[in-house]
Amino acid sequence: MTRDLDGVPGGVLGLSADLHILDANATMGDLIGRSPSALLGEPLDSLLSAPSRILFQTHVFPVLAAHGRVEEVFLTLVDATGVPVPVLLNAARSEGPAGQRFDVLVVRVLARTRWETELLAGAQELARERAASQALASDLQRAVEDLSVRHEQEQRSHAVRDAFLGVLSHELGTPITTIYGMSQLLTQRLPMLDVAVATEYVEEIHAESERLRRLMGDLIVLSRAEAGSMVLEAEPVLVHRVVSSAVQSERARALSHRFIIENQPGLPLIMGEETYLEQVIRNYLSNAVKYSPAGSTILVRSETDAGGVVVRVLDEGAGLGSEEPDRLFELFYRAPGAAGKAPGSGIGLFVCRQLIEAMRGRTWARSNDAPNTGAEFGFWLPAMADLPLD
Amino acid sequence: MVFAHGFGCDQSLWRSVAPAFEGTHQVITFDYVGAGDSDRSAYDPLRYGSLAGYASDVLDICRALDLRDTILVGHSVSATIAMLAAIAEPARFRDLILITPSPRYLDDPPGYRGGFSRADIDGLFGMMDLNAMGWAEVLAPVVMGNPDQPQLTRQLETTFCSIDPVMAREFARVTFLGDNRGDLAAVSTPTLIIQCSDDAVAPPEVGEYVHGHLAGSRLTTIEASGHCPHVSHPVETVAAIRAYLMERQRDPASG
């Protein structure tokens, strides 16, 4: 190193192509508390802290080799007593008489590094806080969304309660009015009444009582479903027997319609609760009666299918129209066309689905393929052998 | 022949080595996501939260180009990535060439000396932060908010090579805090290890360790100081790879 460079206020190093020190000025020696001559022949690595060695080898040297220069690299040297000396480093490649070499300039950045470290820590803290407040904001957003979902649910349940009250007043009110009126007539005028007329009144009272009894049955299932306690007894059930019993009782009520039963021989047993299965079939049947013209036929077909038993109730009414079949099974749902055509609570089909699903089956409704050739309401229940043992 | 670059730079570092094989091999070099001209929008913090994500990148490249009988050359952390790729799909690779590999940079006393303590590695992260990587993270939102200042982004990214500073920090984390010693025994691909006689990042004893635990591997030591022999000593590096490949050609069972 020439004497001129010794006075330069910055460390100057010359390095061989394989990064060994060829020369060093006096300032370089002062920076690390070593004599410049003692540095000659040493590898550059011996002046660098461990992190700096990695950074130099992985980041600085490749750039220096590729582009011929690096600027403003922050590194730490280690002085003779092991104390780190933070520096900024510039380096450039040059061709010397003995081949390639690197000229390096280092400047100590003690105070600046302290400020920068603090500033960076502050900035990183700020960035973290910003991220935290963003997280908080999105939490808040989520809470607001939750709240609005809950609000919607509450509104829905209010709507359900209103529908329920409407149904109760209508579905209970009509039969009670009839029963009350007919029984009053009978009480006041029985001696004057023709036997045939009196019998008609009694039959009317009986029919309306039966309607109330069924509604009661549906309401009990509904309240259990709403309470989430739909667990049924599981006993072996012969489906065709239940079908036949349900059809018999419905036939007595609906003399206007013809009922036909078609059972595939050898239907497997299913597991369920007979009373509730009959309730489902009767709901299907009374539905079919309501929505198909007098004089038409209602067919109940039972067959084996997909490891279980399928029961279909087919009528000759107008079918479902453009109605989404699944909506019919919603609680208190009444098809727009149905409300004017026949009385109904919007509970029956919902109850059917709850009961069949509690017996691990499924329910459906569909129109027959040709328009105005009726609707099909069906359910499927797994055969006994296919049920997992539990 | 696929050349996978190490931590700290991009595929440009293969410039003095890869072309030497173009006469005899199909030569492929690439940048990991976040380095070089890669599409940075493809960066997925979850995928690149471990070296396995980088190994998947290597396999994706091999699949996309339908490469077979592949010689996979990996430098530094890419030596580990190459091992992970070869363990995942051994049938695809004929040879691995691991340049200055280290399966673990941290010391694990008393049996293992990787060369660095946890404090050293934390020091490296701090130093990377002060060399723009930390500032980049802090300033990124500011930069994003100022689309009319693209030079700020570029300046941050070009401080070193052309690595995205934020991705570089994560790459440093998975590289220097990982421990892949357990994977060595699972490598069944014939392997050449090239180390430098004086390497501050992957000391010779680490190369010996890899050689000792990677069954049937060869070890070649280049008389050189530094961690990037393919940059500092390209002629010797090419010669070492050629000698190994010729020997494998003469006696395919060796390796």
pLDDT value of residue B64: 94
pLDDT value of residue B133: 60
- Residue, of A222 and B72, whose pLDDT is higher: B72
| pLDDT(A376) > 70 | yes
Q: How much is the mean pLDDT over chain A?
A: 86
- Domain of residue B23: give its range: 2-105+178-250
The verdict on residue A134 lying in a domain is no
pLDDT value of residue A255: 86
A174: left (phi over 0), alpha (psi -120 to 50) or beta: alpha
- Residues of A in Cβ contact (< 8 Å) with B8: 57-59, 62
pLDDT interval class at A59 (50, 70, 90): confident
- Interface test with chain A among B12, B17, B77, B138, by most A beta carbons within 10 Å: B138
| Planar angle of CA B99, B104, B109, nearest 5 degrees | 135
Q: What mean pLDDT do residues A149-174 have?
A: 80
**Residue in A48, A61, A76 closest to B228 by CB:** A61
How crowded is residue B61: how many other Cβ atoms within 10 Å of its Cβ? 16
**Residue in B116, B161, B227 closest to A63 by CB:** B161
Kindly report, residue by residue over B187-203, the tens digit of the pLDDT: 999 999 999 998 888 99
Phi (first) and psi of residue B91, to 5 degrees:
-65, -20
| Min Cα separation A68/chain B (Å) | 12
Q: How much is the mean pLDDT over chain B?
A: 85
pLDDT value of residue B157: 42
Shared-domain flag, residues A193 and A240: no
The verdict on residue B132 lying in a domain is no
Shared-domain flag, residues A64 and A175: no
**Residue in B130, B138, B225 closest to A18 by CB:** B225
3-state helix vs strand vs coil in chain A, percent to 5: 55, 25, 25
The answer to whether the beta carbons of residues A387 and A360 sit under 8 Å apart is: yes
pLDDT value of residue B153: 46
The verdict on residue A114 lying in a domain is no
CA-to-CA distance for B207 and B222, rounded, in angstroms?
A: 12
| pLDDT(B252) > 50 | yes
B188 and chain A in contact, CB less than 8 A: no
The verdict on residue A168 lying in a domain is yes
The interface predicted TM-score of the complex, written ipTM, equals 0.83
CB A127 to CB B128 under 8 A? no
- Residue, of A333 and A39, whose pLDDT is higher: A39
pLDDT interval class at B147 (50, 70, 90): very low
H-only helix segments in chain A: 3-6, 26-32, 36-39, 50-55, 61-67, 110-167, 173-189, 195-226, 239-253, 274-290, 338-341, 348-358
Residues of B numbered 106-145 whose beta carbons fall under 8 angstroms of chain A's beta carbons: which are they? 115-117, 120-121, 123-124, 126-131, 134-135, 137-138, 141
pLDDT interval class at B143 (50, 70, 90): very low
- Residues of B in Cβ contact (< 8 Å) with A17: 232
| pLDDT(B144) > 50 | no
Kindly report, residue by residue over A273-324, the tens digit of the pLDDT: 888 899 899 999 988 998 889 999 999 999 998 889 999 999 998 888 777 7
The verdict on residue B125 lying in a domain is no
| Planar angle of CA A308, A310, A314, nearest 5 degrees | 180
- Tokens 């790729």 belong to B85
The verdict on residue A126 lying in a domain is no
pLDDT value of residue A3: 53
Kindly report, residue by residue over B57-68, the tens digit of the pLDDT: 999 999 999 999
Shared-domain flag, residues A239 and A381: yes
| pLDDT(A166) > 80 | no
Kindly report, residue by residue over B150-177, the tens digit of the pLDDT: 554 444 444 456 667 777 888 888 899 9
CB A50 to CB B123 under 8 A? yes
CA-to-CA distance for B100 and A353, rounded, in angstroms?
A: 69
Sign of the alpha-carbon torsion through A241, A245, A250, A256? positive
Give the residue numbers of B marked as catalytic. 76, 199, 227
The verdict on residue B202 lying in a domain is yes
- Residues of A in Cβ contact (< 8 Å) with B135: 120, 123
CA-to-CA distance for A252 and A315, rounded, in angstroms?
A: 18
CB A63 to CB B160 under 8 A? yes
DSSP B253: T
Shared-domain flag, residues A174 and A54: no
The verdict on residue B21 lying in a domain is yes
Q: What is the CATH number of the domain that holds A47?
A: 3.30.450.20
- Interface test with chain A among B7, B11, B159, by most A beta carbons within 10 Å: B159
Q: What is the CATH number of the domain that holds B245?
A: 3.40.50.1820
| Min Cα separation B125/chain A (Å) | 8
CB A124 to CB B134 under 8 A? yes
B14 and chain A in contact, CB less than 8 A: no
For residue B217, the SS3 value is coil
- Tokens 């009520």 belong to A253
Sign of the alpha-carbon torsion through A183, A185, A190, A196? negative
The verdict on residue B124 lying in a domain is no
CA-to-CA distance for A33 and A46, rounded, in angstroms?
A: 14
| Min Cα separation A1/chain B (Å) | 24
- Looking at A175-179, A258-262, A342-346, A384-388, which range is the least confident one? A384-388
Kindly report, residue by residue over A115-137, the tens digit of the pLDDT: 878 888 888 888 888 889 989 99
The verdict on residue B169 lying in a domain is no
Shared-domain flag, residues A254 and A215: no
Kindly report, residue by residue over A143-157, the tens digit of the pLDDT: 999 999 999 888 877
Q: Choose from A90-94, B1-5, B143-147 the range with maximum mean pLDDT.
A: B1-5
Q: What is the CATH number of the domain that holds A186?
A: 1.10.287.130
Question: What pTM did the predictor assign?
Answer: 0.59
**Residue in A17, A20, A66 closest to B13 by CB:** A66
CB B232 to CB A18 under 8 A? yes
Chain B's closest residue to A128, CA to CA, is B138
User: Which of A86, A108, A130 represents a domain boundary (last residue)?
Assistant: A108
CA-to-CA distance for A258 and A246, rounded, in angstroms?
A: 14
| Min Cα separation A140/chain B (Å) | 22
pLDDT value of residue A387: 52
Kindly report, residue by residue over A73-87, the tens digit of the pLDDT: 889 999 999 999 999
Shared-domain flag, residues A219 and A256: no
User: Which of A197, A224, A251 represents a domain boundary (last residue)?
Assistant: A224
B80's tokens: 């580990």
Task: Report which secondary-structure segment, H or E, holds B71.
Answer: strand B70-75
| Min Cα separation A359/chain B (Å) | 45
pLDDT value of residue A338: 64
B13 and chain A in contact, CB less than 8 A: yes
String of b and e for A84-100 (b: at least 16 CB within 10 Å)? bbbbbbebebeeeeeee
Domain count, chain A: 3
pLDDT interval class at A211 (50, 70, 90): confident
B6 and chain A in contact, CB less than 8 A: yes
CA-to-CA distance for B46 and A261, rounded, in angstroms?
A: 63
Percentage of chain B beyond pLDDT 90 is 55
pLDDT value of residue A190: 85
Sign of the alpha-carbon torsion through B72, B76, B77, B83? positive
Shared-domain flag, residues A378 and A246: yes
CA-to-CA distance for A221 and A112, rounded, in angstroms?
A: 79
B197 and chain A in contact, CB less than 8 A: no
Kindly report, residue by residue over B69-126, the tens digit of the pLDDT: 999 999 999 999 999 999 999 999 999 999 999 999 999 988 899 999 999 999 888 8
B226 and chain A in contact, CB less than 8 A: yes
- Interface test with chain B among A15, A46, A47, A54, by most B beta carbons within 10 Å: A54
For residue B191, the SS3 value is strand
Side-chain-facing half-sphere of B65: CA atoms under 13 Å: 17
DSSP B239: H
pLDDT value of residue B138: 57
CB B226 to CB A18 under 8 A? yes
The verdict on residue B90 lying in a domain is yes
Domain count, chain B: 1
- Domain of residue A153: give its range: 144-224
pLDDT interval class at B146 (50, 70, 90): very low
User: Which of A175, A194, A224 represents a domain boundary (last residue)?
Assistant: A224
B125's tokens: 């992260």
pLDDT value of residue A170: 73
pLDDT interval class at B134 (50, 70, 90): low
| Planar angle of CA A257, A260, A263, nearest 5 degrees | 155
For residue A183, the SS3 value is helix
pLDDT value of residue A131: 86
The verdict on residue B126 lying in a domain is no
pLDDT value of residue A231: 76
| Min Cα separation A111/chain B (Å) | 14
- Residues of A in Cβ contact (< 8 Å) with B120: 49-51, 54
The verdict on residue A77 lying in a domain is yes
Q: What is the CATH number of the domain that holds A312?
A: 3.30.565.10
| pLDDT(B37) > 60 | yes
CA-to-CA distance for A251 and B156, rounded, in angstroms?
A: 87
Kindly report, residue by residue over A92-104, the tens digit of the pLDDT: 999 878 788 999 9
Antiparallel, parallel or unpaired: β A11-16 and B191-198: unpaired
| Contacts with A177 (C-beta within 8 Å, 6 or more apart), sequence order | none
